[in-house]
Structure 1
Amino acid sequence: MENNVILQISSRIKEKRKEKKITLQSLAEEAGVTKGLISQIENNRTVPSLTVLLSIIKALHVDLNEFFENLGDRVGADPILISNSEYETIEKEHTVGSYYNRILSFKLNGKLIDIIIYRQEKNAKRSFVSSNAHEFNYMISGSMQYTIEDKMYILHEGDSFYYDARKPHLTTCLSETDYTMLVIYFFDEE
């Protein structure tokens, strides 16, 4: 197993952009790409080509060595204990009331895998989203509804769900309080 450097690169782009107080729009303009593409890259919705990645790094005004410093293997043959204080808060969609905490990301058998704890508030307003992945979900607490195309699937505490997240999907909290689930993304590498 080796670490999912691609997910780390997406996080590093967002981290450097915010650190330098650069807006998505200005970064996109300077890199010669769209604001939407930058957002998709930062939120692990797409993988940039090498040319686009180098343009973004240049537009961030960051030295290549500095940008790639410390990107490397976290996952190896040895067991790994990760305390909840080490979870990385990430933003996948700009939705108030949705919270993502990355536990671990790595590559296994040619698949990029990202393990997340996801929490959605009762009144979160979400829209349909999709990602370049398949998802396995395990409901830790609460109840929720997936809407995928014209079908609805209801999950309660202890239920599991696997689906093709490339299809537009919508999540809705059905609990009186927030729901929490473990999400494992299996990214396609096409």
Structure 2
Amino acid sequence: MKQEFISSIGRKIKEERLKANLTIRDISERSGLSKGLISKIENSRSIPSMPVFFSILKSMSIAPVKFFEGIDCADDDGHILIKPANHEPLLKEERPGFHYRYIMSRQLHDINIEVVLLELEPGVKGKATSTDGFELKYLLKGRVAYRLAEKTIILEEGDTLYFDASKPHRPENLLNTNALMLVFYFMYPKS
């Protein structure tokens, strides 16, 4: 499946780190970057600036040319068709009961837009997270309580929620069946 190479950076960093048997702490100590920032980058919750990106590569002793081998850049022929069979499982965070499937992402100016399907198991509650940017959630199936800082918003099928994702947020599936959300992340690079 063709995809914008920028969307693959976090996943590729994690893949290379695990191949080298390095922990996030190892990368943090070698690069001088916080463990939290590295985790956010690996989980596509933040896009690294160029200096941050090169610090991470240097900490793993990987040349940029080598890093980008095998990452396919999409041709811009005016449309993209993605079949459900091409929705790749995506490990965004280690949260039991959360199942992400990557659909696509595109770079528009300095904002990266990533689209995923998020399936929540019955009764699951996530821990609060934050992202560098904004999120739009469209509830396809189920009933979800979305906690935004101190506020709770109930989402029902067909509801759309857009918010500043830098504030702590988490979903809670309110039903005894799986909930399904289409999620758009609008992320900008942090320096």
Structure 1 residue 188 corresponds to structure 2 residue 174: no
In 2: Cα distance, 1:170 partner to 1:14 partner: 23
The equivalent of 1:91 in structure 2 is 91
The equivalent of 2:26 in structure 1 is 26
Give 1:32 shift: 2.8
RMSD across aligned positions (CA): 2.1
The equivalent of 1:151 in structure 2 is 151
User: What does residue range 58-137 of structure 1 map to in structure 2 within 5 Å?
Assistant: 58-71=58-71, 73-74=73-74, 76-108=76-108, 110-137=110-137
Pair 1:84–1:21, CA change in 2 (3 A): farther
Structure 2: unaligned runs, 5 residues or longer = none
Give 1:68 shift: 1.7
Most deviating of 153-162 and 178-187 = 153-162
Most deviating of 107-116 and 130-139 = 107-116
Task: Tell me if the contact between 2:49 and 2:189 (Cα under 8 Å) persists in the aligned partners.
Answer: no
Ranked by relative contact order (alpha carbons within 8 Å, sequence separation 6 or more), the top structure is: 2
Identity of aligned residues (%): 35
In 2: Cα distance, 1:45 partner to 1:86 partner: 22
Pair 1:61–1:44, CA change in 2 (3 A): same
Pair 1:109–1:29, CA change in 2 (3 A): closer
Structure 1 residue 50 corresponds to structure 2 residue 50: yes
Which letter does structure 1 place at the counterpart of 2:166?
A: R
Most deviating of 41-50 and 110-119 = 41-50
Output the TM-score relative to the length of structure 1: 0.86
In 2: Cα distance, 1:102 partner to 1:162 partner: 19
Pair 1:165–1:77, CA change in 2 (3 A): same
Which letter does structure 1 place at the counterpart of 2:54?
A: L
Task: Tell me if the contact between 1:75 and 1:106 (Cα under 8 Å) persists in the aligned partners.
Answer: no
Output the TM-score relative to the length of structure 2: 0.86
